[in-house]
Structure 1
């Protein structure tokens, strides 16, 4: 018997006004699988991540995480995101009134986990010594690294990343991508990254091309 996938998309459709973004899309993400999604701008990649995270709802279809339907109630969806998901937003969504350490500690606090790992994750993304700084003191690339640390700190079951290296220089991007892959494999997590970067995509096990026909595997990592 096949194990229950971490994520299952079943005939997902989504439209905005008269524009169809996703149509009858289905996909299964296995435990421990790390995939990258590439495709033209506007094809629906970020929309798909938002649907998986419960930040938006499909017009049709079902989304299941660990075999359970994604809750439609706001409170239930929030609890699921808190416990199961780590989301690296393209726009960071770092809380401006909290220090960097407090931002990264937040998932641990909400999940009643020890807070010590927050400082270690800031060190892992190259921001050691900046724990008491506030977001307004950081560059865009540094904010991106805070977002990565916060998404990984509580060892989530499913990691979603929207252009996780979009604001990083080449060398830093390489380090961050290695960190993401290391954390995924060490914690037995599954992950989906959306990216326009071929370099970023090649850190995944599988590269999927997204178009109006759905998701098509284009490369498997040995």
Structure 2
């Protein structure tokens, strides 16, 4: 599904954050990445998503190097196969939360517009209910708390059943009970849809929901035993 081959990346300041990083994520695998602040976890997600480019190395999705794709091809790949949950949420303020959640389905429509719009609206309401926001579809982002906005971002990331889910601190703004519910939903969706997933987190509880936990250091990605460090 995903192959990182000798990926190197430096910040604009010149400080190298990733050095010859290699890793293979198998189809259907759910991995949590932990590590100290500033080690490059969010940078790694941005590189995998094709939102930033490595200084050297290859990032292959199903055998194709994403950095060699034309812009429209890379955009289509992200839209169809990726689901994103980033810390900044990126919820569009002028759309209702139901419209925000439905957006991936509308952009990827493969049915007549009227039929697909109805399907997308119903799917959005179902997904909002799954993240504990039933009946809130007509609200706008400004009417939601930070934790509620995070749940909207998670619903939007899952609605089109992506092949690869990338999540940066997906439970960072949630109370423990809601976080547990969201982690269960995330894991269930991954397993039911045969998706692969990478979450970046500082939470041991969130990491424990994954199949494998890795620690990112300046020396690369290494298996991590929860409770030992992090």
Q: Smaller-chain TM-score range?
A: over 0.9
Name stretches of at least 5 consecutive residues in structure 1 with no aligned partner: 1-5
Residues in 2 aligned to 1:145 and 1:90: alpha-carbon distance in whole angstroms:
11
Q: What do the CA deviations read for 1:178-203 (whole angstroms, capped 9, x no partner)?
A: 00000000000000000000000000
Corresponding residue number in structure 2 for 1:149: 155
Structure-2 residue corresponding to 1:9 = 4
Please give the alpha-carbon distance, in whole angstroms, between the structure 2 residues aligned to 1:66 and 1:73: 16
Q: Which of 101, 105, 122 in structure 1 is aligned with 2:102? A: 105
Report the structure, 1 or 2, having the larger helix content: 2
The equivalent residue for 2:182 is: 176
Describe the SS at the equivalent of 2:77.
Answer: helix
CA distance in 2, matches of 1:74, 1:151: 21
Q: Give the structure 1 partner of residue 42 of structure 2.
A: 46
Match among 197, 207, 210 for residue 201 of structure 1: 207
Q: In structure 1, the residue corresponding to 2:84 is in which secondary structure?
A: strand
Q: Tell me if the contact between 1:57 and 1:72 (Cα under 8 Å) persists in the aligned partners.
A: no
Pairing 1:78–2:81 present: no
Q: Match for residue 64 of structure 1?
A: 60
Q: Higher mean Cα deviation, 142-151 or 72-81?
A: 72-81
Give the ranges of 4+ consecutive aligned residues of structure 1 lying more than 4 Å apart after TM superposition: none
SS state at 1:27 partner: strand
Match of 2:114 in 1: none
Mapped contact 1:181–1:203 kept (Cα < 8 A): yes
CA offset at residue 77 of structure 1? 1.5
Q: Provide the aligned length of Structure 1 versus Structure 2.
A: 215
What is the CA–CA distance in structure 2 between the aligned matches of 1:24 and 1:189, rounded to whole Å?
26
Partner SS for 2:224: strand
CA–CA distance in structure 1, aligned partners of residues 133 and 142 of structure 2: 15
SS of match in other structure, 1:121: helix
Is the partner of 2:215 in helix, strand or coil? strand
Q: Write the distance in 2 (CA, Å) between the matches of 1:208 and 1:202.
A: 11
SS of the residue 2:59 aligns to: strand
Match of 2:217 in 1: 211
Q: How far apart are 1:72 and its partner, in Å?
A: 4.3
**Contact 1:162 1:194 (C-alpha < 8 Å) held by counterparts:** yes
Alignment match, 1:191: 197
1:74 to partner: Cα distance:
2.4
1:218 to partner: Cα distance: 1.8
Measure how far apart 1:73 and its partner are: 3.0
What TM-score, normalized by structure 2, do the two folds share? Answer: 0.91
TM-score (structure 1 length as normaliser): 0.95
For 1:72 and 1:48, the matched residues in 2 are separated by: 18
